[in-house]
Structure 1
Amino acid sequence: MKQLSAVKKLGLPVIILSVLVLTLIGGNQAFAANGLTLSTSYPGLTVKPGETIRFTLEIENSGLPSQSIKLATRSIPEGWNSEFQGGGREVHQVFVKRGDYETVNYQVEVPAETEEGTYQIQVAAQGGSVADILTLELQVSREAQLASKLLAQYPELQGPSSAVFTFKTDLVNNSSQEQSYSLGAATPAGWGVVFKPSYENKQIASLSVEPGKSQGLQIEITPPSNVKAGEYKIPIRAISAEETIETELTVIITGNYELKLSTPTGLLSFAATAGQEKAVALEVVNTGSADLKDIKLSSWAPTNWTVTFEPDHIAVLPAGESQEVKAYVQPDNKALAGDYVVQMTARAPEATGQAEFRVSVKTSTIWGIVGLVIILLLAVGLYRTFKVYGRR
């Protein structure tokens, strides 16, 4: 009986504890199925005092609705500075679609006066009522090896699509041994990237840098001629057997303005009849890399001719696109048969396109019949005149 009583006394707490454990396990499984995960490949790094370090954070949405995820630093050593970065700017939110993930950079500045030791930083990602916290650990050591770097003097350049963008950079080997780096870039289709040693004209694909030394590099980026105006990020990599160094260069295309006026077939001649309207299909093409707005159609034609357009105004024509326009040309009804010139123009504030058309004018068949009747009447009149006066 005493043993049974003891079992009864122990049984209730054991049952309660089992239920709690099962509840927690079930709760964790539900969180994993529909939750938020904040992670990084290397949560613990060794740095030197005064060094700026960057973590690549991955925010994964595993079942929550697509939404903006708030980013925050929960705790950081006093005097340290940090910020979340995305697209080259400081950010505090990132939009993550359901079942997808996004990455942001988390930059930490370690003060130069920091004592040696191990320091922790907590960062958080929160979507609605769901959050995840990641602990980063930095071991500060005055003997720590600084990371190698690829530094650009001016990481952002601006110009037209016809320009070659030249970035002056330095590849710094902060490792303890010589490194042989392969150079590469991830560019959009049609773009070209060339690597050259500073002050040399030869193209290279790799180079060696001694420990603690740097090598100047000239990176030339050439966009395609039909590239649209905008901002383009070009990731640059230097890869060795020991490390991968990355940097991002930015090319801002200001755009060029070009406008072309022609026909869908390219033929710049047509036939028309005096006094009758002739419809001609035109094609207005934006051959530049920037959108054109407020395009107006106009013409020059011989006296007493009329030329109208449908439409006679184009509000916006995006770069690389075209629009068909109908021109209605009516020669003077007294125009003689022959070839004439009509000039048509498409004009935007930034660019103009012109086309010169040769118009072969034919006279109306009605006037031909009228002329024939007149000739016949004259012939009959002459015949009667000769007949009457010929007898005398």
Structure 2
Amino acid sequence: MTAAALSRSFFFMLRWILFLGLVGLPVFGQQGRVSLAFEYPGVEVFLGETITVGLILQNKGAEDQSVNVRVAEKPAGWNTAIKSSSLTVTGVYLPAGQSKTLSLEAAPPLELRAGRYQFRVEAQAGDLDLGETFYALVRERREQARGTAGIGLTTAYPILRGSSEVFYEFSLELENKLEEDTVFDLAARGPEGWEINFKPAYEPRYISSFQLRAKRSGKLTVEVKPPAGARAGEFPVAVRISSGAAFAETTLTVVLTGTYDLAVESVSGVLSLSAQQGKPARLAISVKNTGTAPQNHVGLFSFQPENWIVDFVPDAVDGLASGETRQVEVIVTPHEKALVGDYSLELKANGEKVSKPIEFRVTVKASSVFGWIGIAIIVLVIGGLAVLFRWLGRR
């Protein structure tokens, strides 16, 4: 091979190396510009506890990024959300060189067994896909009762959670450590208005006492029913089982998540509004929290005709307690070239786990200036005709 041929081959290979290197550079840069990681990839919790773990997003690149996040995998029955403070988020804006910490919240179902559970969160930034897996080891916690040596009382599930619309059943194991058969008195004290009853395990009838043979154990069920509309929170139920001087006490807890509902209404009761082209018109709506759980943030949104402007005062409702009502002023400005006629305007209040719309009919009327101009034109036409008839009459 001649020197010229060797030279051509060398430059040909050099061009290919440079080409592959340039093609590969964006790929490596793309892979390293955004990272996703759990603050704690594995945790241990007890049955009935809600899991909250940090989720770290970091932009290592030189350009700002918009990152979409979602829970891609979760165990059956679990309720999950990715949050920032009280907001549930699906996307994050990450300036170049900065990081953002979100949180994954996972609430277990009512019926759950101890074990290892897996969650997966995925993120997407442009054409870059990321994914991280998180594991939770759920353990059983047995609550040991207080009392004397003659009675043993334990429960595997001292905390149950859910809404106020269901009843809760706690399973207790009672042990008679006395030397003789004993009848035990059953008593419980809970929040005012709550209904609490004892039942033998797997039997429907209610009881107020329970007999156990000496050195034997048996199972009881404590049925707890909250009143309708009970507020969200933690509610203790004190249980006492006794026979003579021997007794045992334990505390059960019901965690009510509450119900989520909103009502959006027109303050005037009228669902129509008159407006003029390019001029603001006002109406008032009320937002009421009709659920039992508080609404930390209620966003206000509008769906209006193109080029219309709709403003809310205030632009959101924060800290809305159960049963509380707030009034919001809505300023509607039709486009200055809007045609005369009726239009549909939908307003929506988006709270936690609930969204409620309300629809108004907006009638756009012509400006009064055009009315006066029309009257003037009619007067001029009539006057012109009168002058014309008089002139023709003289002839």
TM-score (norm 1): 0.52
Q: Deviations over 1:58-115 (max 9, x none)?
A: xxxxxxxxxxxxxxxxxxxxxxxxxxxxxxxxxxxxxxxxxxxxxxxxx999xxxxxx
The alignment partner of 1:303 has SS state of coil
Quick check: 2:190–2:238 contact (8 Å CA) kept in 1?
Answer: yes
Residue 269 of structure 1, CA deviation:
1.1
Q: Deviations over 1:124-159 (max 9, x none)?
A: xxxxxxxxxxxxxxxxxxxxx942244323112233
The alignment partner of 1:188 has SS state of coil
Note closer, same or farther for the CA distance 1:333–1:215 as it changes in structure 2 (3 Å cut): same
Aligned to 1:151: 154
What letter corresponds to residue 196 of structure 2 in structure 1? Answer: V
Distance 1:169 1:390 in 2: 113
Aligned to 1:317: 320
Quick check: 1:299–1:344 contact (8 Å CA) kept in 2?
Answer: yes
Question: Does 2:189 match 1:179?
Answer: no
Aligned to 1:274: 276
Distance 1:281 1:298 in 2: 14
What letter corresponds to residue 189 of structure 1 in structure 2? Answer: E
What letter corresponds to residue 179 of structure 1 in structure 2? Answer: V
Quick check: 2:293–2:322 contact (8 Å CA) kept in 1?
Answer: yes
- Give the alignment of 1:30-179 within 5 angstroms: 146-175=149-178, 176-179=180-183
Quick check: 2:242–2:248 contact (8 Å CA) kept in 1?
Answer: yes
Residue 360 of structure 1, CA deviation:
4.5
Question: Does 2:205 match 1:209?
Answer: no
TM-score (norm 2): 0.52
Quick check: 1:174–1:211 contact (8 Å CA) kept in 2?
Answer: no
Distance 1:313 1:299 in 2: 12
**Same amino acid, percent of matched pairs:** 34
Residue 249 of structure 1, CA deviation:
0.5
Aligned to 1:261: 264
The alignment partner of 2:191 has SS state of coil
Question: Does 2:294 match 1:307?
Answer: no
Distance 2:291 2:199 in 1: 30
Distance 1:173 1:163 in 2: 32
Distance 1:239 1:258 in 2: 43
Residue 274 of structure 1, CA deviation:
1.5
Q: Which runs of 5+ in 1 are unaligned?
A: 1-106, 110-144
Residue 327 of structure 1, CA deviation:
1.0
Distance 1:287 1:227 in 2: 12
Aligned to 1:193: 196
Quick check: 1:307–1:327 contact (8 Å CA) kept in 2?
Answer: yes
Question: Does 2:218 match 1:218?
Answer: no
What letter corresponds to residue 209 of structure 2 in structure 1? Answer: L
The structure with more radius of gyration:
1
Distance 2:295 2:245 in 1: 50
What letter corresponds to residue 316 of structure 2 in structure 1? Answer: H
Note closer, same or farther for the CA distance 1:166–1:309 as it changes in structure 2 (3 Å cut): same
Question: Does 2:239 match 1:236?
Answer: yes
Note closer, same or farther for the CA distance 1:296–1:210 as it changes in structure 2 (3 Å cut): closer
Quick check: 2:309–2:334 contact (8 Å CA) kept in 1?
Answer: yes
Distance 1:201 1:294 in 2: 43
Residue 359 of structure 1, CA deviation:
3.2
Distance 1:337 1:190 in 2: 58
What letter corresponds to residue 306 of structure 2 in structure 1? Answer: T
What letter corresponds to residue 305 of structure 1 in structure 2? Answer: W
The alignment partner of 2:348 has SS state of strand
Distance 2:200 2:394 in 1: 111
Quick check: 1:171–1:215 contact (8 Å CA) kept in 2?
Answer: yes
Distance 1:338 1:178 in 2: 84
Residue 244 of structure 1, CA deviation:
5.0
Note closer, same or farther for the CA distance 1:223–1:306 as it changes in structure 2 (3 Å cut): same
2:379 to 348, 365, 376: 376
Distance 1:243 1:368 in 2: 93
Question: Does 2:359 match 1:356?
Answer: yes
Quick check: 1:260–1:287 contact (8 Å CA) kept in 2?
Answer: yes
Residue 363 of structure 1, CA deviation:
4.6
Distance 1:157 1:304 in 2: 51
Quick check: 2:275–2:362 contact (8 Å CA) kept in 1?
Answer: no
Equivalent pairs counted in the alignment come to 249
What letter corresponds to residue 188 of structure 1 in structure 2? Answer: P
Q: Deviations over 1:193-230 (max 9, x none)?
A: 3433211223x142341442444222222334544443
Question: Does 2:307 match 1:341?
Answer: no
Residue 334 of structure 1, CA deviation:
5.6
Quick check: 1:165–1:221 contact (8 Å CA) kept in 2?
Answer: yes
* Aligned-CA RMSD value: 3.7
Distance 2:310 2:261 in 1: 24
Note closer, same or farther for the CA distance 1:198–1:369 as it changes in structure 2 (3 Å cut): same
Distance 1:239 1:341 in 2: 68
